[in-house]
Each structure stands twice: as C-alpha cells, then as structure tokens.
A and B are shown apart, each in its own frame.
Chain A
Amino acid sequence: MNGLPITSAVVVGGSAGASEVLSRLLADLPDDFAAPIAVVIHLARRQPSALPEALGRRSRLPVREPLDKEPLAPATVYVAPPNYHLLIERGPAFALSTDEPVYFSLPSIDVLFESAADVFGPRLVAILLSGANQDGARGLKAVSDAGGLALVQAPEEAAFRAMPEAGLAMCPHAQAMGVEALAQLLRERRELRARAGEEASW
C-alpha cells in the first residue's frame, strides 16, 4: 500500500467533545481505507498528549504525531502535536510551525485546513466536529472554495455546538451530518479506499 501515491486526504478538526466522536469514526473505517487522515484537536499546549494513544486503541489504522517534513503515508492517522501548528506542504508532506496561535489555539484547525486545501484542492474531505470556538470555520471555507468536500457534525448532535455552527455560518456549502452519516460517508467514499490498480474516478 505504501507504493501508491497519495491522491486524496481527510482532515478533521475539533475541540471540546470531539475526541469521542473521532474515536468512533476511526473505529468504523473499513479494511481497505487508504487515505491519510490529519487531525487537529485543541489540547493543552505544554504537556505531551495522550491523544494518539487514546485514539489508537480503537482505530485499526496506526495513529501518531508527525515529524516536520514527514511525507504523508496512506492509511495513517496523524495528530497535530501540542504547541505546533500542523500544515500540509506539496509532496505531500507535513510541515510544522510555531507561529502565533490562531483564535488562541496552537495547533489551529484553520491552519491545517487552509494548507491542506491548497495542496489537495477538490480531493480533500474536511470534517469539523464539536467545539466551543470558531477556529476551523475559515479553514472549512477554504476547503470548500478549493472544491473539497466540507462537512460538519450536526450542531444539534454535537456536545458543543459553537464550532460546527460557526463552520456552517462561514461556509454555507458545508453539509451538516450526524455521526452515523459521517461514518458511513467515510466508509463508502470510493476515493478514500485502496484501488486495485485503477485510477481515481475524477
């Protein structure tokens, strides 16, 4: 699987109430899921995070924090390390930065989403989950403007609705979905799965 070029990716952002949802989404992925997943969840800045381990327990895919300039590998979940912004460069590879926090958040969802939109354009699925501030909304709009698929967790289902609501307000094209529907979409979307030698459908 490692030889295949990375053609599409999933980015996920969230804050309060998001890690449980994400954990469920990861547990539901099918065996042939091939796209890399990059995740930003707001965490305390100055202590090591146990999030990769917590997510890894229920995920079939390996979960880890990426290194600077590490190339994206298929079927891997990458979690932004605390106290760094996580960005995606052409390559595609990860890049980190210690720039100013965005909406007081480091890592910031906007930063990841915008850079990923730049690299993947229409071949990106972005999911904004539960949270209590408006980080991620602008990023979601950038994804949608670049032709990517912008999704938010349905606010009425989210533990904290501010973040998904901000996302919907900023990016009217974004679709709101329940967790089950999100999981199903990830399971069934063809371009996110391993293809036996055939090219992408777009």
Chain B
Amino acid sequence: MRRFEETRSTPLLPVAIVLSTAATFWLDLVTHFGLVVWVLFLLPLSLSMFLWRPRTPLLVGAAATFSIVASYFVSPREEGLPFDAAVLNSTMGLLVTWGLSLVARQFILSRIALRERDWIRQGQQELSACSQGEQRLGQLSDAIAAFLCRYLQAPVGALYARGPEDRFLRAGTYALAPGTAPDSAGPGEGLVGQVVREKKLLRLDEVPAGHLPISSALGRTSPANLVLFPAIADNELLGVLELGFLHPVGRSDLDLLAAVAEPIAVSIRSSQYRTQLEDLLHQTQQQAEELQTQQEELRVINEELEERNRALQAAQAHLEVQQAELELTNSRLEDQSRSLEQQRSELATAQELLIKKADDLARANRYKSEFLANMSHELRTPLNSVLILAKLLADNKDGNLTADQVKYAATISSSGNDLLALINDILDLARIEAGRVETKPEALQLPHLFETLERTFRPVAAHRGLGLSFALEPDCPVSLVTDPLRLEQILRNLLSNALKFTERGEVSLRAGLRGEGQVALEVRDTGIGISPEQQELIFEAFRQADGSTQRKYGGSGLGLTISRELARRLGGEITVDSEPGKGSTFTLLLPLSPPAAVEAPTPLELAPAPGPVGPAPAQRLAARAAEVLAPSAAAKPAVEDDRAHLDGERRVLVVEDDLAFAGVLRDLAHEKGFRCLVATTAAEGLQLAERYLPSGVLLDVRLPDDSGLSVLERLKRQKATRHIPVHMISFADHAQQALELGAVGYAIKPVMREQVAEAFEKLEQRLEQRLRRVLVVEDAAVQRESLVALLQSDQVQVASVGTAGEALEKLRREPYDCMVLDLRLPDMSGFDLLDQMAAGGTFAFPPVIVYTGRTLSRDEELRLRHYASSIIIKGARSPERLLDEVTLFLHQVEANLPKEQQSLLRQVRNREAALEDKTLLIADDDVRNVFALASVLEPKGAKVQIARNGKEALEALERPDSAVDLVLMDLMMPEMDGLTAIREIRRRERFKKLPIIALTAKAMASDREASLQAGADDYIAKPVDVDKLLSLIKVWIPK
C-alpha cells in the first residue's frame, strides 16, 4: 500500500496544510472562545484531500480537536457570548472537523484503491503483451520472470513449469546466479515442492541463508523476503513462480501476483501445447516418409511375388510344352532316320555330279586360257600395224601435218603401246595359267644378272632422282640353277614397280641365303608402301582395290600376279612386307636348285573370298597430307615478337608459318605503331588470340596444323574474340568464304608491301569503327518504330524504311551491317527484294534477318535460307530472339565488300577451272550444311542443286533435263536415307558411273565401308573439311 501513498505530490501542499493548521490554531488561541474560528480548519482538511496519505486528514482533525479544546481553556472569554453557546459552538466544531476528516480519509483511501487496480490491470496487460507470440516455453518463461521482477522491483526470480511426471522444471529465470536454484522439484521437494503440494502462495520473511542469492558485480546478498506462488488455471497447477525481494512484500504485490497467476498458467499451457503440436507435426512428417517407404516395400514384395508366380506359371507351361514336344520328337525321330537314309543316297549322287561339274569348269577355264594364249598372234598383228603407222604419222616426215595432228598421232602411238603392254601381260598370265610356260633351268651367275639389271634401271633411277643399289650378301652363293629368263622377268617387274612407287629415297636389290638351300632376292624401296589389307590384293589379277593408284602410276597391274605365278613355276614364292609411308620389301625366295617336278598348273581357282576393303582414298589423302605437314610444326616462338613487353592497346597478332614473311609483317607492324605477336601454327594463333586479345589479327590461310579459315571461324564464334578484326593474307582460294566468315579483308600472296600496309590500315579503320548500322524494312509504321526502339543503342544506329524500293535505295547509297526484313511489303514481296539484292552487283548484301508474321512452307524457307542468315516467326518471344540475332550478326559478319574486293572475288571464282560449269547435287537435310557447302562450291563456278532427302535426290537425277556431274550424299536423312538412295542410283544403268561422295557423321570404319559397298565412290567425314572436300571433288569429277 505504501507504494501508492508515497507517490509524488507538490511539497507545497503539506506545507500549506501545516501552515494553515498552525495559523488556525494560533487564531483560535488568541481569539475569544466561542468564535467560529474552527471553520478555518476546513481549509487544511480540504487541502489534505489532495494528498495521497489517508492519515493526513486525521492529523488535521486531531490538531483541530486539540486547538478547540485548548481554546476552551486558554482563550479569553467573550463577554457578550453565552458560555453555553460557545461550548456548543466548539462541540459542533469538533464534530464537523472530525466528520470531515473522516470523509477526507475515505476519499483518499478510495483514490488509492483505484490507483492500485490500475496498476494491477496495467501489469496484466504488459504481461500478456510479453507472453504473446509463438514462443517456446523457455523463451516465454524467461520473459515472464523478467517482466514480473521488473514490475515488482524484485531483483531475482525463477519460473518452474510443469514437466512430465508432475515434476516442475526450471523453465525461466531472471538474474539468477547459476547453480543457486534447483533445476526441478517434485511435490514436497524444497520450497517450490511445498507450493506444488499445497497449491498455495508461500511468503517467507525470513529467508534461509544462501537461498536464491542476488548476485551482482559487487557481491551476493540474500533477498529479504521471498514469495512463491502457484500459477493455476482450471484447477490445474502449471507453474510456480519464485521471486526474491529486498523490501517487504506489499499487499498490492500479492494482489498483482494473484491477478496474473492464471494468465501465466494459461500461457505456459498453450506454449506447451504448441511445442507438443510441433513435435507431433515433425513426427507425422517422418511417419509419412516412413509410410511411403513401407508402401514402396509392399509394392516391392508384391512385385516380387507376382514375378515368382509368373515364373512358376511359365515353368509349368514350359514343362507341359516340353512333354508334348518330347512325344512329338520321338515320332519325328523315326521319320527322320528314314529320310536321312534317303538323303544320303541323294548326296552321293549330287557329289558325283559336282565332281563332274568341277572338272568341266577347270577344263573350260583352261580352254579359255588356251584360247587367249593362242590369240596372241591375232591380237598383236593388227595392233602392230596400228603402232607402226601411228609412229610414221607422228614422225611427220613429209611435214604436211599440223602440229595438232602430230600430237594426235603421238597419242595414238603411246596409247597403243600401253595397250600392247596390257595385252602382253594378259597373255602372259593366260599362258601361265594355261600351263603353257615351260621353265628351262640352267646355271646362272647372280653378279652377271645384277649387272644386266643395273644397266636397265640405272638411267630410270637417275632420272627420278632415286638411289639404286645391288648387293650380294657374303654367304650368298654366286650361282644358282633356275630359269634365268623368268627370274629376270620377275626381278624386272619388282624393280620397276619399286621405282614407280618411290618418290624419294632409294631402291635396292639384295641377295642372300635363307634357311635350307633357299636364296632370297629382296627388292626394297622407300616408297608409299602398302597397307596390310592391300598386301594380299595386289597379287590378285584384275583386282586392284584402289583404282586411283593405277590411274596415278600407270601399268596394267598384272605384273605382280604374273611374277607370283612365275615364281611358283620356279618352285619359289614371293612375299611382301610393307608399312604405308615407310616403304615395301618384296622377297623372292627360290630354291638353290629347281624342284624335281614343278607343280602341274592348278585349275582356275574359285574367286577369292572378298577380303576387307582397303582404306579408301580419302583416308590415304589425309594420311599423306599429315605426313607432308608434320615436320613443320614449330615448338618455340620461331620469330621473335613482343610478347614479353606488351604494353598499350595497339597489338596485332600475326599467324603465318612462313618465318621470313612473318618477320616482314612484324617489322611492318612496328612501323605502324603496333606491338606484334607471332604465331606459326593455327593452334598457337588461337591460343595467343585468346590470351592476349589483340586489337587485330593478320591470318594466313595455309597453316601446318589447320586451315586459317577454321581459325577465323573459331575466333568469330567465341564471345571474347568475336570483335577482333581479322585480315587474311594467303593464296586467294577462300577469299569469299573468309569475308563471309567475318574477315575485314583479304590479300593474295605474293603480297606487295603496299597491300600489307593496306591491311594494317583496314585493321585500324575497323578499330575505330564502332557504330554499327542496321536497316529495318517493315511496312507497318507502329511495328517499324518499335523495332527501331528495340534495336537502337549507342553502338547501333538503326535506319528504317517501309517499302522495298526505299530499301534498295538505302542499300545502294550506304553499307549496312545487318538488315531486318518483313516479307510483306507494299511494292514488292520480301522474296523478290532478296532476289533483286542478289542479282545486282551494285547493292551491298548485308546479313539479312527475315522477321515475318506468316508461317513458311519448306520450299519458301529453303528459298529464304539462300540469302537470309536467320528467319524469325513473330510471336510472343520473337522480339527477344530478334535482338539476339541482330547482336550476333553485328559482331559476326562483315557486310560491305568494297568494289575492288568484289572484282577480286570474281577473279577468284574463275581460278578453279575443275568445277566451272559442273553441276553438283547436294543431298542433305541439314540446311546449315547445305548452304555452307554451296557457299564454297558456287564461287568456284559450280552449279549447286539441293535435295533434302534421298527421294528428292533421285527425282532430281531422273528429271529429263538433269545434268548432274557429281553427287554429295549425306547418309542420315529423313524419308530415304543416303545408303538406300545410293543403291537406288546405282541400280539405274545410266548412273553407274556417276561419281557419288558420301557425307557421314559417323566415325566407325564399318559405316564408311557400308557407303562404299552401297556404291559410293568415296566418303568424307562431317563436319566437312572444305579443303579436303574440294580435293575429293576434283579427284572424282569427270574432266
């Protein structure tokens, strides 16, 4: 109660009360008794009502009583006043002042009570505020303890909440020193336990020493008073709060505690519920997972059972079937043994027949060979006269033939000679096979033979710049017995072959003793060699696997077959040992003396089983290319450059494998104020470009490891290097392609100094030119403006027009980096506009992006793809794609070709005569690939037809006006694939010889073989290496 009495009030008020009381007292004493001075006591009395002490009015009342009584004894008496009346007056005064002071006290008391209620209500409110929210029990208890301690000015407190098994756990504390209060209490254990048992408030004014000490930095004291009270809701004890006070505990404190006990109990309970609920939730979730697992397990077991059941049923069915089968088999076996008997006799008859057939065949073959052998005379005679007459004509003794006619005659003569050699070979072979070659063994001096051979071949070797050596090993017998003519024929053949197939190095003939009584004659060369697969084939008549070899080196290809046959006649054999690229060794093994009986001529052998097809020409071409190029790969920077001190922004990368020329370029770069990096291979070039990001690149097309074009393409494909201007310097094979790939210029070797200087200027120009120009052609004004807004940026300037005419006008006047075209235009369709742009040389032809609202047919798309780099159908996401594509092309493709470059391109086109006016059919459904190929082939003067699948290819070929010279056939196509198409083409007589090159993305050798077996002449792997393809086409295209 004191809490509320001692609250502030102005100090003036008590002073005024005391003064007014004293003044009245004094006045009462000095005035006559019986005067109504006591009325003045009403002033302090009423003043005291404003104070908070209920005792004050009583004190004033006491003072008034004293004053009135004193006045009775002390005050002078008023003469005129009856004494009785004065006493009455005083008595009234007494009664009134006491009455009033009692009223004043009651007033103050009720004010204080009001105030206390307020305080308690406020306490309740604040408590409920701090116990709001979803707090866990610990948090909540801490908050409650803290609040109550603060509100009641208790320095220490703890809250125990009911836990499991009626134990009360310490859940929250306030300023409690660790270890000074029990963690939990059961009923009857300690003070808390006592409260638990009694469920009644416990108040201790004598606190046991050390209980609930108040600890601070200054030390520990024990609280003077201790209150423990139970938090009960619905007759259920949920918690016990223990508070330690330093001051005596007032009634209001207890009232407050009584008022908050239930809310505290309720919040403890709901917090406990919440925690429980959460735990339950987690548990449920885990149980749900567990349920899933169990369900899965059930499914598994079920499936397993079903599977077993199925297996059982199957086994049973199987058994039944087996039994039935057994019975059936039994009866069948009997039948079979009967029929076997019959078959055996039939077989015997058939065998006899076969033997007879084989005899007939052998005889027929011998007849054929004999016929051929007999023909020798009849064939040679007319040919001889042709030869002689042609020679006579060629000599032009009379001088009456024109130069051309002489040349023709000479051609007849030389072709005739070739024919004669071929006939001779065929006849030789036929004679051998017919068994009409007789051998006449006689003693032969090897050194002598070698001399003869050397005389013949020395000049040939010298002419071809090859070494030629003959050696007799020390242990080799000098003479041997054999047919000298035949031996010489064999060796001549081997030697001339060796010389023919050797480009550099040497050819040697060496004789030595091998094993028991055998002489080995080895002809060794350093020529192109023979792959293992071909080593068998070369000995077979009429079966040169690789037609191109024959075409290149001439000859009938029968020499080796004849040699082998002859060697057999001599009782020996020929073997070959070779490695492609390294050279070959042909070894003729002969017995020192001829065998007693030379084998009788074998009847014609059945055609040999088809062996594996040898590596196709394309592979060998590649291998040869690699062989030629390999040695030039450089390891260190071959030309000294500035990579050690690259400062400033102007640096140029020179990619050139000609070291001298690279040096020239470097010096020139220095002159132009560029730092210079030099790479000698494509790989190094790319690496340096990525690492140093030069401001420009001078790029040679022909590099040892890869084409410069592919370097260019890769530079343009990579984000980081896309912007770098590249100038090509090389032989002009690929000018247009390079420019289309994004080169800024192209100079043809050999280059003048001025041209190189120009190249540097172009690079510099390009460095400065940052603003890109885009032309938008769109008829709808709103759309046009929105496109301009979409594409415009500080690096992109957009011009826009609404008609095709305006577009052409713009293109004529200034170059653009990119054009966005709507197909629907008022004056001309977009297709026609593109046609016009393509036709007239006066228009620059920037990359075109077709932006259209209509869906396109396959044919329309194909037509557009010829000119347009990209086609976008308008729709929800099309603006994004448009922006994307435009950005891409602005970096990728250089649009404007200056005049002189255009004429240069035309020049280039004329240089490749092989393709001029040839018609190539490309059958491929990959549009990108088709146009990439077309863009390489068309500049070379070739006409390109396109088919999107095998069916269309066939149709194109069968059109009456078709004049296709060569077909490039992709193997993977819809509707009719390439292999089927090739087979179909080959089935038609007039296309038997049409060259077909297969394109395949497959790496497996078997797929390539499959294409050859289907009838393709050659194949090339995707992605297509342009150089390789061109050389392949040149090989196959009819001249």
Contact = CB atoms under 8 A, between A and B. Distances in A.
Q: In the complex, is A directly touching B at CB under 8 Å?
A: yes
Interface of A: 15-20, 23, 41-45, 49-51, 53-54, 57, 103-105, 131-133, 160
Contacts of B289: 19, 43, 49-51, 54
A102 B288 CA distance: 24
A16 B303 contact: no
Contacts of B295: 44
With most chain A CB atoms within 10 A of its CB, the pick from B292, B304, B307 is B292
A19 B297 contact: no
B301 A133 contact: yes
Interface in B249-305: 282, 285-286, 288-290, 292-297, 299-301, 303-304
Given A104-B303, A133-B304, A44 B292 contact: yes
Given A50-B288, A133-B304, A104 B293 contact: no
A15 B296 contact: yes
Given A20-B286, A23-B286, A54-B285, A105 B293 contact: no
Contacts of A23: 286
19 contacts: A15-B294, A16-B294, A17-B294, A18-B293, A20-B290, A23-B286, A42-B300, A44-B292, A44-B295, A45-B296, A50-B289, A54-B282, A54-B286, A103-B300, A103-B304, A105-B296, A132-B297, A132-B300, A133-B301
A17 B288 contact: no
Contacts of A19: 286, 289-290, 293
B878 to A, nearest CB: 34
Given A44-B295, A132-B297, A16 B304 contact: no
A44 B296 contact: yes
Most chain A C-beta atoms within 10 Å of own C-beta, residue among B285, B296, B299 = B296
Contact of B293 (A15, A57, A103): A15
B304 A42 contact: no
A16 B288 CA distance: 12
Q: Bin chain B's interface residue count.
A: 10 to 19
A23 B285 CA distance: 12
Nearest to B299: A104
Contacts of B294: 15-17, 132
A103 B290 CA distance: 19
Nearest to B304: A104
Contacts of B297: 15-16, 42, 131-133, 160
Q: Which of A44, A53, A131 has the most CB of B within 10 A?
A: A44
B399 to A, nearest CB: 86
Contacts of A131: 297
A42 B285 contact: no
Contacts of B282: 54, 57
Contacts of A53: 285
Contacts of A44: 292, 295-296
Contacts of B292: 43-44, 49
Contact of B296 (A20, A42, A50, A54): A42
Contacts of B299: 104
B285 A16 contact: no
B256 to A, nearest CB: 41
Contacts, number: 63
Q: Chain A contact residues: over half helix, strand or loop, or mixed?
A: loop
Contacts of A104: 299-300, 303-304, 307
9 shortest A-B CB distances, which residue pairs?
A16-B294, A104-B300, A16-B297, A104-B303, A42-B296, A132-B297, A54-B286, A15-B297, A54-B289
Interface in B958-1006: none
A44 B297 CA distance: 9
Contacts of A18: 293
Contacts of A50: 285, 288-289
Contacts of B301: 132-133
A23 B283 CA distance: 11
A13 to B, nearest CB: 12
Nearest to B302: A104
Contacts of B288: 50
A105 B290 contact: no
Given A16-B290, A43-B289, 17 more contacts: A16-B297, A17-B290, A17-B294, A19-B286, A19-B290, A20-B286, A42-B300, A43-B293, A44-B292, A44-B296, A49-B289, A50-B285, A50-B288, A53-B285, A54-B285, A103-B300, A133-B297
Nearest to A47: B292
A123 B1029 CA distance: 57
A164 to B, nearest CB: 14
Nearest to A41: B293
A154 B293 CA distance: 20
Contacts of B304: 103-104, 133
Contacts of A105: 296, 300
Contacts of A17: 290, 293-294
Contacts of A41: 293
Contacts of B300: 42, 103-105, 132-133
A39 to B, nearest CB: 12
Contacts of A42: 293, 296-297, 300
Contacts of B303: 104
A125 to B, nearest CB: 22
A18 B285 CA distance: 14
A42 B288 CA distance: 13
A148 to B, nearest CB: 25
A36 B299 CA distance: 30
Nearest to B286: A54
Nearest to B287: A20
Nearest to A23: B286
Interface string B436-476: 00000000000000000000000000000000000000000
A63 to B, nearest CB: 12
Contacts of A49: 289, 292
A53 B388 CA distance: 101
Interface in B232-255: none
A42 B303 CA distance: 14
A118 B297 CA distance: 27
B834 to A, nearest CB: 47
A50 B290 CA distance: 11
A43 B296 contact: yes
Contacts of A57: 282
Contacts of A54: 282, 285-286, 289
Nearest to A51: B289
A165 B286 CA distance: 24
A195 to B, nearest CB: 33
A20 B296 CA distance: 16
A103 B297 CA distance: 10
Residue among A104, A105, A133 with most chain B CB within 10 A: A104
A17 B291 CA distance: 9
A21 to B, nearest CB: 10
A43 B307 CA distance: 20
A91 to B, nearest CB: 28
Contacts of B296: 15, 42-45, 105
A182 to B, nearest CB: 18
Question: B282, B294, B297, B303: which has the most chain A beta carbons within 10 Å?
Answer: B297
A49 B282 CA distance: 15
Interface in B606-621: none
A104 B285 CA distance: 25
A54 B289 CA distance: 8
- Which residue among B300, B304, B307 has the maximum number of chain A CB atoms within 10 Å of its CB? B300
Contacts of A43: 289, 292-293, 296
Interface string B725-747: 00000000000000000000000
Nearest to B303: A104
A188 to B, nearest CB: 26
B309 to A, nearest CB: 14
Interface in B101-127: none
A21 B631 CA distance: 69
B293 A16 contact: yes
Contacts of A20: 286, 290
A40 to B, nearest CB: 11
Contacts of B293: 15-19, 41-43
